[in-house]
Chain A
Amino acid sequence: MSTESTEAIVIRQADFSETSRVVTLFTRDFGKIATIAKGARRLRGPFEGALDLLAQCQIVFIRKTSNSLDILTEARLTARFRPEARSLHSLYGGYYIAELLDGFTEPYDPHPNLFQEASLMLRMLEAGDRPLQAVLQFELTILREIGQMPVFDSCAACGRPVENNGSFSYWVSQSGLLCRNCQKEEFSHHQIPAGTVEVLRRLAEGDSETASRLAISPAQISSLRRITVPALIDILGRRPKMLRYLG
């Protein structure tokens, strides 16, 4: 057993007994960890209300060598997730980030960049101005971090470079775009204009701060999420619960 200290985001929690709680955290240095926080339901204690869903905190935990839960010994709140705009979309966007972090990461598989991006997207959702853009950016970040980013610069069937005109379909199982020549009738997919593909490419390649400055129309976001959402569902093997709330 060793004592570790790191920064973390609370992504899931469940009451365990009168006073304890099982808390799943996505940490900067260790990836996802599942811990037991004894006394977490008491007002006074080593956690002081820091273990709310999506709260970001500095934690100390004892890492177990066996399969049992790690023990969370301390959590100091750094930032609580508080959507200021009284927007349910921002709130649900935050829940969705927690669900994606839980579903797409493995215990003790660190992704410091993903942690950074999650933290940034939560702050963007708090500001509340473009919640669905934050959601889209995070979907792309997850795909990039787990090495499953679809190919956007050439046709997944014929390999020809994607041109700046025409429209494309998204081929889920091949994780790529299909040019007009390769689209078959049986793939009656949603058509994606070349301009939208260009936006997608810039989003996928750029860092989140640059991407956040891009003005993307609601129609483009909707169109782009018809690529990212099926890709995520295909990898996860189920539909994320929060999609029902985000539309």
Chain B
Amino acid sequence: MTNDADTHPYGAAVGTLIQRLSGLPGIGRKTAERLANHLVSCREPDALALAEAIRSVRTNVRRCRSCFNLTESEICRICSDPRRNRHQICIVEQPRDVVSLEAAGVFQGLYHVLGGRISPLEGVGPEDLTLDALVRRVRQDEVTEILMATNPTLEGDGTALFISNLLENEPVQITRLARGIASGSVLEFANREMLADAIRGRQNF
């Protein structure tokens, strides 16, 4: 493998930048080269603003002490909002899931970010997630409902099952996100799996 930093015709600085950019998810070598060329030729303040934004994120962003979402303070904006229902906790795998659920604008409780899912085959066990902190929160904060919003995959469901077993002796109602047919779609084009989920999860009307 060639080392861009040593061999790039523009010099080591551009070569290093290309190497760093191509290490980012979803960015291949060609895209990295395009981005590097743009950064070399754009206005200097714009390029430096990007560098400062990266530095600021790395310096200031940390995990919320309560829910493990990403935040710039000790406690995140959601956990410190007095209007949120503190007795409902929605469990998600990653901070980006909080962003998606917040965009829906429906859930008014708090979140708990696990930091992944139990995936024994990939070497991720329960001890690698924030489960101890979750149990402490349930006990200390008089939580009445846990909403499981792990991904609807075998491992996501397995993680939800593990947590529901973990909390079975706590006085808390455990629910999970509904699944099935998307609003605005038609039954004719729904696949077998979606229809089966929708029938299993039917509600009173």
Contact = CB atoms under 8 A, between A and B. Distances in A.
A53 B155 contact: yes
A81 B121 CA distance: 16
Contact of A49 (B123, B125, B193): B193
Contact of A99 (B121, B154, B155, B158): B121
B177 to A, nearest CB: 15
Contacts of A18: 25-26
A238 interface: no
Contact of B26 (A17, A49, A54, A55): A17
Nearest to B154: A53
A242 B193 contact: no
Contact of B161 (A49, A52, A91): A91
A67 to B, nearest CB: 16
B120 interface: yes
A17 B24 CA distance: 10
Range of interface residues on B (Cβ < 8 Å) = 10 to 19
Interface in A56-96: 77, 80-81, 86, 88, 91-92, 94-95
A77 B192 contact: yes
Contacts of A245: 120
B60 interface: no
A38 interface: no
B153 A52 contact: yes
- Looking at chain B's contact residues, is the secondary structure mostly helix, strand, loop, or mixed? helix
A98 interface: yes
B191 interface: yes
A12 interface: yes
A91 B158 contact: yes
A241 B121 contact: yes
Contacts of B123: 241
Contacts of A98: 121
Contacts of A12: 121
B152 to A, nearest CB: 8
Contacts of B192: 77
Contacts of A244: 120, 125
13 contacts: A14-B122, A18-B26, A48-B193, A52-B153, A52-B154, A53-B121, A54-B154, A86-B161, A98-B121, A99-B121, A241-B121, A244-B125, A245-B120
Contacts of B153: 52-53
A52 B121 CA distance: 14
Interface residues of A, number: 25
Contact of A77 (B121, B125, B165, B193): B193
Given A18-B25, A53-B155, A80 B121 contact: no
Given A54-B154, A245-B120, 17 more contacts: A12-B121, A48-B193, A53-B153, A53-B154, A55-B154, A77-B191, A80-B154, A80-B193, A88-B158, A88-B161, A95-B121, A98-B121, A99-B121, A242-B120, A242-B121, A244-B120, A244-B125
A160 to B, nearest CB: 42
Contacts of A17: 25-26
Interface in A12-71: 12, 14, 17-18, 48-49, 52-55
A32 to B, nearest CB: 15
Contacts of B125: 244
10 closest pairs, A vs B, by CB?
A18-B26, A53-B154, A91-B158, A52-B153, A17-B26, A52-B154, A48-B191, A245-B120, A241-B120, A95-B120
Contacts of B162: 88
A45 to B, nearest CB: 12
Contacts of A48: 191, 193
Interface string B164-205: 110000000000000000000000000111000000000000
Contacts of A77: 191-193
Interface string B14-57: 00000000000110000000000000000000000000000000
Contacts of B155: 53
Most buried by A among B25, B121, B153: B121
Nearest to B153: A52
Nearest to A43: B182
A92 B120 CA distance: 9
